Amino acid sequence: MRVVSLHRDVILVTSELFQAHCTIVRGLAGEGEGAGEEAFAIDSPVLPEELELLPSLVEQAGFPAPRGLLATHADWDHLLAPLAFGDATLGCAESSAARLQASPGAVQRELRSFDEALHIERRPLPLGAVQPLAVPGRCAIGAAELELHPTSGHTQDGMAIWIAWARVLIAGDYLSPIELPGVGEGEGMLDAYVATLELLQPLVAAAEHVVPGHGPAIDRARALELLAEDRVYLETLRARGADAELPHGRRSKAQRELHAQNVARVRA
């Protein structure tokens, strides 16, 4: 597990698996009533030992224990923070809450299948109380607010989170420097993905750091490059299918397999 500071109020924790992230954000440290007294954890690392270390890591950084947890979308690998902070409330976009409600127990079954395949032991994941959040919207954190922006295309649900005072964008499973855009199942998902990139562009242009779902955090210039590359890839995927050219640096065997999956989903 790797830990870096993106801002005095933002700590990025990166898992050894999937290069998945948990972002700890503190509400505007400094002077004034309520300043720096509240923290949230956004998404999660994957391994049990990483989750066990999170509370002590937050304490060592001088941050308050998170009162709230946020998940950018309802894929299981973004929903594990309740295992680290059992007393905190988990919030997600209304679309993600609806997805969880429509398939009760699906996240736990997927996690159990993953753990069994890798011989990982962990206690059961509690997802009993999930707070739906209006998106687009805002979420108060101490003396500040997080901006919530709708995303879809990778999945049918989700949100990106803009930490305006720190100029950090939590993008969910978009703008990854190590993965192709993964188009979700369902009609219109390619169009939804392109629309999400268009929505994210002004936020990326204002950001100092962009945190993707997987892969290292990137600066504004690299994120804008990736956004342009992803848009070109998706448009050529629409036009050329299997013959679409993959972006430079994302042409490995695993990415070619993801491309084949995208082709099948776009043609379905």
Specify whether the CB–CB gap between 52 and 91 falls below 8 A.
no
CATH dotted code for 2-267? 3.60.15.10
Which one-letter DSSP state was computed for residue 88?
S
* Spatial CA neighbour of 18 closest among 220, 215, 203: 215
| pLDDT classification of 31: cutoffs 50, 70, 90 | low
Domain boundaries, the chain: 2-267
Which pLDDT belongs to residue 128? 82
Residues 6+ apart with CB under 8 A from 200: 149, 151, 160, 169, 171, 174, 175, 227
Over the stretch 183-210, which tens digit does the pLDDT of each residue have? Answer: 999 999 999 999 999 999 999 999 999 9
Joined together, the tokens standing for residue 171 give 């993008």
Is 163 a residue whose pLDDT tops 80?
yes
Over the stretch 212-227, which tens digit does the pLDDT of each residue have? Answer: 999 999 999 999 999 9
Which pLDDT belongs to residue 37? 81
Q: Mean pLDDT, to the nearest integer, of 3-27?
A: 96
Report the run of H or E that residue 130 belongs to, with start and end. strand 130-133
Report the run of H or E that residue 140 belongs to, with start and end. strand 137-141
Joined together, the tokens standing for residue 173 give 């499973």
pTM score, whole prediction: 0.95
